[in-house]
Amino acid sequence: METWFIKPEFVEKAIPIMQELDDIVGPNAHADPAWAGHAHFYQYDENPNHLIMMYPWRSREEHRRTVAVEDTMLESFTAKYCERPRRVEYLEELPVEVDHDDDHHHH
């Protein structure tokens, strides 16, 4: 998971800015054998200049190598749009069973 800290003056342009980000790193990521799926983008309601980019990757080690390459590719993007560099964190999905075979009506 990546958190991007865009400058407040760019909050209203979050979608085109994140599209520009994807245009910069997407081709390199998709060419990597460790790439495991497209990114999803989210914006915090309470802190709209904090943007989240989440995507699966085959391993942390392979991802760290890609991040190192991307850091160079993103220098001007980060300087132009961001208050500080992105924060990269790793999450482990929990195998919680969410398919319930019961008679309750869930909405």
Q: Nearest CA to 22 among 62, 84, 70, 75?
A: 70
The answer, yes or no, to whether residue 106 has pLDDT greater than 60, is: no
Q: How many CA within 13 A on the CB side of residue 85?
A: 11
N-term to C-term CA, the chain: 29
Per-residue pLDDT reduced to its tens digit, 55-103: 998 999 999 999 999 999 999 999 999 999 999 999 998 999 998 776 6
Assigned CATH class of 2-88: alpha beta
pTM of the predicted model, to two decimals? 0.85
pLDDT of residue 35: 87
Quote the mean pLDDT of the chain.
Answer: 92
